[in-house]
């Protein structure tokens, strides 16, 4: 079966007064129907540029974008407009029409394609119900919270019945609790309507919460891609490691002693291992960080250990850990 989205050798450069900026360099990847695919990178990595290229809001300098096998780059404007209707988009700042009520915002895409006002209103109410906001149908965006505005934007996307939803930092302006509820809603529409979702974010937690696979962008280059579990367990590139470790300031300050990161499937599996490790070498280790995360629906644990100063013992402990079925990785890089 054709992938839902197939990007090949995508390049995008901008000419500016101070020279050429290469925002996307030879990027290739594909996304299957029904996936929730994450694109993650730090600020300026080229995420927005890439996502805008996917529906040709931004025209790539070279390369191809195929949606269900059809190369968008070759389509005349009229056909391209039609294809774009198949690709919904939500944004960090919601982009609602401020002079229209929630209901009229959701009616908008239906009015454009010529659905009667009465029919559009009826459908819009159904979409608002799906996103849990029917009682706010007559409110204006200024009367809604950020999470509610994003729900209206999602209802508006549903109104054009797309097969693809692009989310450009869609939860970046929201608090953690609201972020969680919006991600749940995105997951629901992915499941119930089979909509393929592309999530652009700088936050690893967002990717962990809902994505199946993820691509890491750095300075316009796709440096790593794989399942979310793979990235979490063994990030291969410096860029991926930085994202996995972002926000761990207490660990960044740890110099000198050797640090290892171990990942494991469930809590019960690591506790005896650490106890036995300490017993075997009669030397304590510091647990700097331990947490369990829900990744792709399964519990994944993560722990960062600070090993003893004595090099030989530290070395033996690493060997010991490697013999267990946990993921073991030494943190020999600058995680700052």
Ligand X SMILES: Nc1ncnc2c1ncn2[C@@H]1O[C@H](COP(=O)(O)OP(=O)(O)OP(=O)(O)O)[C@@H](O)[C@H]1O
Q: Which of 3, 8, 11, 21 binds ligand X (CB under 6 A)?
A: 21
What 3-state DSSP class applies to 190? helix
Residue 133: which of 273, 192, 219, 124 has the closest Cα? 124
Tell me: does residue 18 bind ligand X (CB under 6 A): no
Here's the x/- map for ligand X, 196-215, by CB under 6 A: it reads as ------x-------------
Whether 293 contacts 299, CB under 8 Å:
yes
Of 61 and 85, which CB lies nearer to ligand X in the complex structure? 61
In angstroms, rounded to a whole number, what is the distance separating the alpha carbons of residues 185 and 187?
Answer: 5
Residue with Cβ nearer ligand X (31 or 200): 200
Stretch that binds ligand X, among 38-46, 130-138, 143-151, 319-327 (CB under 6 A): 38-46
* Interface region with ligand X, contact rule CB under 6 A, candidates 46-54, 72-80, 128-136, 191-199: 46-54
Q: Write out the binding residues for ligand X, residues 292-331 only, by CB under 6 A.
A: none
DSSP 8-class letter at 141 = G
Residue 263 sits in the site that holds ligand X (CB under 6 A): no
Pairwise CA distance, residues 153 & 150, whole Å: 5
- How many residues bind ligand X (CB under 6 A)? The answer is 13
Query: Edge-to-edge strands of the sheet including 286-295?
Result: 286-295, 298-306, 259-264, 327-330
For position 241 contacting ligand X by CB under 6 A, the verdict is no
Backbone angles phi, psi at 29, to 5 degrees: -170, 165
The residue among 21 and 318 lying less far from ligand X, judged by its C-beta, is 21
Interacting residue with ligand X among 9, 14, 275, 287 (CB under 6 A): 14
Paired tokens of 290: 């331990």
Q: Which CB atom, from 16 or from 332, has the smaller least distance to ligand X?
A: 16
Structure tokens at 76: 């005349």
The answer to the question of residue 242 lying near ligand X (CB under 6 A) is no
Count the alpha carbons within 13 Å of 299 in the hemisphere toward its beta carbon.
8
Query: What is the nearest approach in angstroms of ligand X to the Cβ of residue 220?
Result: 7
Q: In which residue are the tokens 């020279």 written?
A: 19
Minimum CB separation of residue 42 from ligand X in Å reads 7
Q: Which is nearer to ligand X, 49 or 101 (CB)?
A: 49
CB of 137 to ligand X, least distance (A): 32
Residue with tokens 């004595």: 310
Select from 5, 36, 41, 185 the one that contacts ligand X (CB under 6 A).
41
Q: For 134, which DSSP code?
A: G
Q: Which residues contact 225 (CB under 8 A, 6 or more apart)?
A: 29, 213, 214, 215, 216
Q: What's the rounded Cα separation, in Å, for the pair 87 and 183?
A: 18
Stretch that binds ligand X, among 14-22, 25-33, 83-91, 276-284 (CB under 6 A): 14-22
| Span interacting with ligand X, options 40-48, 96-104, 107-115, 204-212, rule CB under 6 A | 40-48
Considering beta carbons, is residue 34 or 44 the nearer one to ligand X? 44
**What contacts 258, CB < 8 A, 6 or more positions away?**
306, 307, 314, 318, 330, 332
Q: In the complex, which residues of this chain contact ligand X (CB under 6 A)? A: 14, 16, 21, 23, 41, 43-49, 202
């Amino acid at each position: 079966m054709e992938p839902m989205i197939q990007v090949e050798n995508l390049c995008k450069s901008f000419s500016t007064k101070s020279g050429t900026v290469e925002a996307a360099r030879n990027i290739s990847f594909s996304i299957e129907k029904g996936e929730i695919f994450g694109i993650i990178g730090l600020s300026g990595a080229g995420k927005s540029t890439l996502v805008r290229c996917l529906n040709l809001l931004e025209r790539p300098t070279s390369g191809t974008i195929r949606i269900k096998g059809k190369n968008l780059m070759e389509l005349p404007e009229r056909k391209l407009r039609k294809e774009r209707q198949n690709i919904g988009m939500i944004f960090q700042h919601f982009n609602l029409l401020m002079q229209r009520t929630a209901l009229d915002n959701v009616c908008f895409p239906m009015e454009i394609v010529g659905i009667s006002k009465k029919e559009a209103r009826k459908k819009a109410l159904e979409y608002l119900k799906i996103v849990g906001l029917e009682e706010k149908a007559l409110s204006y965006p200024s009367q809604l919270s950020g999470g509610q505005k994003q729900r209206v934007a999602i209802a508006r996307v549903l109104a054009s019945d797309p097969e693809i939803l692009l989310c450009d930092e869609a939860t970046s302006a929201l608090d953690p609790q609201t972020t969680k509820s919006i991600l749940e809603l995105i997951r629901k529409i992915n499941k119930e309507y089979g909509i393929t979702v592309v999530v652009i974010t700088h936050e690893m937690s967002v990717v962990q919460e809902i994505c199946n696979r993820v691509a890491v962008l750095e300075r316009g280059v796709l440096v790593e891609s794989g399942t979310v579990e793979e990235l979490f367990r063994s990030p291969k590139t410096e860029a991926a490691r930085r994202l996995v470790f972002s926000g761990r300031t207490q660990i960044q300050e740890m110099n000198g002693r050797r640090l290892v990161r171990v990942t494991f499937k469930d809590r019960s599996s690591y506790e005896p291992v650490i106890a036995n490790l300490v017993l075997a070498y009669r030397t304590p280790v510091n647990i700097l960080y331990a947490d369990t995360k829900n990744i792709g629906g399964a519990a994944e644990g993560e722990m960062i250990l600070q090993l003893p100063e004595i090099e030989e013992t530290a070395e033996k402990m690493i060997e010991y850990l490697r013999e267990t079925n946990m993921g073991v990785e030494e943190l020999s890089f600058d995680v700052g």
